[in-house]
Amino acid sequence: MENTNISVEEIQKSNSIIKSVSDYYTSRIVGQKNLQISLLISLIANGHILVESVPGLAKTTAAKVLTESCGGDFSRIQCTPDLLPSDIIGTQTYNAKTGDFETKIGPVYANFVLLDEINRSSSKTQSAMLEAMQERQVSIGGENYKLPDVFIVIATQNPVEQEGTYPLAEAQQDRFIIKETLTYPTLDEEIEVLNRIEKNIFKEKEQVVSLEDIKYLQELSKKIYIDTSVKRYIVNIVDATRNATKVIAPELAKYVTGGASTRAAISFMEASKALALINGRTFVTPDDIKSLSYSILRHRIPLSFEAIADDVKVETIIDAIINSIKTP
Q: Mean pLDDT in runs of 10 for the chain (328 residues)?
A: 73 95 89 88 94 81 88 89 87 79 85 88 81 83 85 84 68 88 87 87 84 94 94 96 91 91 95 96 95 94 90 93 93
Predicted confidence (pLDDT) per residue in 199-210, tens digit: 887 777 888 999
pLDDT in the model for residue 138: 84
Number of domains in the chain: 1
Q: Residue 208 in contact with residue 24, Cβ under 8 Å? A: yes
pLDDT in the model for residue 119: 84
Structural domain contains residue 3: no
pLDDT in the model for residue 163: 58
Rounded distance between C-alpha atoms, residue 299 and residue 282, angstroms: 28
Structural domain contains residue 4: no
Structural domain contains residue 49: yes
Strands 100-105 and 90-95: antiparallel
Structural domain contains residue 225: no
Residue 55 main-chain phi, psi, to 5 deg: -65, 155
Q: How many residues does the chain have?
A: 328
pLDDT in the model for residue 318: 94
**Alpha carbon separation from 247 to 239, 256, 267, 303, 326 (Å, rounded):** 10, 12, 22, 16, 11
Q: 211, exposed or middle or buried, with CB in 10 Å at 0-12, 13-18, 19+?
A: middle
What's the CATH code of the domain at 65? 3.40.50.300
pLDDT in the model for residue 104: 84
Predicted confidence (pLDDT) per residue in 215-244, tens digit: 999 999 999 999 999 999 999 999 999 999
Structural domain contains residue 328: no
Predicted confidence (pLDDT) per residue in 79-129, tens digit: 888 888 888 888 878 777 787 877 888 898 999 999 888 888 888 888 778
Which structural domain, as residue segments, surrounds residue 168?
33-187
pLDDT in the model for residue 182: 86
pLDDT in the model for residue 1: 46
Rounded distance between C-alpha atoms, residue 211 and residue 148, angstroms: 11
pLDDT in the model for residue 30: 86
Rounded distance between C-alpha atoms, residue 233 and residue 255, angstroms: 24
Structural domain contains residue 113: yes
* One-letter amino acid of 170: E
Structural domain contains residue 201: no
Structural domain contains residue 224: no
- Which alpha helices (H) appear in the chain, and where do they start and end? 8-28, 33-45, 59-70, 85-89, 123-135, 170-173, 187-198, 211-221, 228-242, 244-247, 250-253, 262-278, 286-297, 305-309, 314-324
